[in-house]
Amino acid sequence: MDIIFIGAGNLATHLSQALQQAGHRVLQVFSRTEESASCLAALLDCPFTTDITEVLPEAEVYFFCVSDAVLQDLASRLYAHLRRVALVGSPCRGAGALFLHTAGSMPLDVLPTLRRGVFYPMQTFSKSRPVDFRQVPIFLESQTDMRMMELLARALSQQVYRLDGEKRRYLHLSAVFACNFVNHMYDLSARILESHDIPFSVMFPLVDETASKVHSLPPHEAQTGPAVRYDQNVMERHLDLLADDPQMQEIYKLLSRSIHDKL
Amino acid sequence: MDIIFIGAGNLATHLSQALQQAGHRVLQVFSRTEESASCLAALLDCPFTTDITEVLPEAEVYFFCVSDAVLQDLASRLYAHLRRVALVGSPCRGAGALFLHTAGSMPLDVLPTLRRGVFYPMQTFSKSRPVDFRQVPIFLESQTDMRMMELLARALSQQVYRLDGEKRRYLHLSAVFACNFVNHMYDLSARILESHDIPFSVMFPLVDETASKVHSLPPHEAQTGPAVRYDQNVMERHLDLLADDPQMQEIYKLLSRSIHDKL
Q: Report the CATH number that the domain containing residue A73 is assigned in CATH.
A: 3.40.50.720
Among positive and negative, which fits the CA dihedral A15, A21, A24, A29?
positive
Given B69, B135, B222, which is nearest A183 (Cβ)?
A: B222
* Boundary (domain end) residue, out of B144, B163, B182: B163
Round to the nearest angstrom and report the end-to-end CA distance of chain A: 51
Judged against a pLDDT cut of 90, whether residue A89 lies above it is answered with: no
User: In this structure, are A30 and A147 located in the same domain?
Assistant: yes
Q: Which domain holds residue B213?
A: 169-261
* Boundary (domain end) residue, out of B146, B163, B180: B163
Q: Does the beta carbon of B243 lie under 8 angstroms from any beta carbon of chain A?
A: no
Judged against a pLDDT cut of 90, whether residue A92 lies above it is answered with: no
How far apart are the C-alpha atoms of A258 and B183, rounded to whole Å?
12
Which pairs from B240-244 meet CB under 8 Å and 24+ separation? B241/A169, B241/A170, B241/A173, B241/B192, B242/A173
- Tell which of A36, A135, A185, A208 to mutate to test the B interface (max B CBs under 10 Å): A185
Given B182, B196, B216, which is nearest A182 (Cβ)?
A: B182
- Kind of pairing between the strands at A2-6 and B116-121: unpaired
Q: Does the beta carbon of A231 lie under 8 angstroms from any beta carbon of chain B?
A: yes
User: In this structure, are B114 and B196 located in the same domain?
Assistant: no
Per-residue pLDDT reduced to its tens digit, A203-250: 999 999 999 999 999 999 999 988 888 888 889 999 999 999 999 999
Q: Does the beta carbon of B262 lie under 8 angstroms from any beta carbon of chain A?
A: yes
- Kind of pairing between the strands at A98-101 and A160-162: unpaired
Check B259 against A182: CB less than 8 A apart.
no
- Tell which of B101, B181, B201 to mutate to test the A interface (max A CBs under 10 Å): B181
User: In this structure, are A157 and A49 located in the same domain?
Assistant: yes
User: In this structure, are B213 and B110 located in the same domain?
Assistant: no
User: In this structure, are B89 and B209 located in the same domain?
Assistant: no
Strand partners, B162: B140
Given B186, B209, B261, which is nearest A124 (Cβ)?
A: B209
- Tell which of A125, A168, A183 to mutate to test the B interface (max B CBs under 10 Å): A183
How far apart are the C-alpha atoms of B81 and B75, rounded to whole Å?
10
Residue A127 is predicted with a pLDDT of 86
Residue A229 is predicted with a pLDDT of 81
Q: Does the beta carbon of B68 lie under 8 angstroms from any beta carbon of chain A?
A: yes
How far apart are the C-alpha atoms of B143 and A53, rounded to whole Å?
74
Q: Does the beta carbon of A241 lie under 8 angstroms from any beta carbon of chain B?
A: yes
| Burial class of residue B51 in the structure, from the number of CB atoms within 10 Å of its CB (0-12 exposed, 13-18 middle, 19+ buried) | exposed
Q: Does the beta carbon of A239 lie under 8 angstroms from any beta carbon of chain B?
A: no
User: In this structure, are B56 and B179 located in the same domain?
Assistant: no
Nearest to B28 by CA among B51, B61, B50, B3: B3
Check A182 against B185: CB less than 8 A apart.
yes
Q: Residues A185-189: what's their mean pLDDT? A: 98
- DSSP H helical ranges for chain B: 10-21, 34-44, 68-84, 146-154, 165-175, 182-194, 204-213, 219-222, 226-229, 232-241, 246-261
**pTM of the entire structure?**
0.93
User: In this structure, are B147 and B36 located in the same domain?
Assistant: yes
Residue B139 is predicted with a pLDDT of 98
User: In this structure, are B48 and B117 located in the same domain?
Assistant: yes
Round to the nearest angstrom and report the end-to-end CA distance of chain B: 51
Residue B174 is predicted with a pLDDT of 98
User: In this structure, are B173 and B159 located in the same domain?
Assistant: no
Task: Name the 3-class secondary structure at B107.
Answer: coil
Domains held by chain A: number? 2
Strand partners, A2: A25
How far apart are the C-alpha atoms of A130 and A151, rounded to whole Å?
23
Check A173 against B69: CB less than 8 A apart.
no
Residue A212 is predicted with a pLDDT of 97
Check A67 against B125: CB less than 8 A apart.
no
User: In this structure, are A148 and A53 located in the same domain?
Assistant: yes
**A126-165 residues touching B, CB cutoff 8 A:** 126, 128-129, 131, 135-137, 159, 161
CATH at residue B177: 1.10.1040.20
The separation between CA A179 and the C-alpha centre of its own chain, rounded to angstroms, equals: 10
Among positive and negative, which fits the CA dihedral B258, B252, B213, A205?
positive
- Work out how many CB contacts closer than 8 A connect A with B: 334
CA angle A207, A209, A214 (to 5 degrees): 105
Per-residue pLDDT reduced to its tens digit, A46-77: 999 999 999 999 999 999 999 988 999 999 99
User: In this structure, are B178 and B108 located in the same domain?
Assistant: no
Per-residue pLDDT reduced to its tens digit, B143-191: 999 999 999 999 999 999 999 999 999 999 999 999 999 999 999 999 9
- DSSP H helical ranges for chain A: 10-21, 34-44, 68-84, 146-154, 165-175, 182-194, 204-213, 219-222, 226-229, 232-241, 246-261
* Boundary (domain end) residue, out of B129, B163, B197: B163
Strand partners, A48: A29
- Kind of pairing between the strands at B138-142 and B116-121: antiparallel
Q: What is the ipTM of this complex?
A: 0.94
Strand partners, A121: A138
Those residues of chain B that have pLDDT short of 70 are none
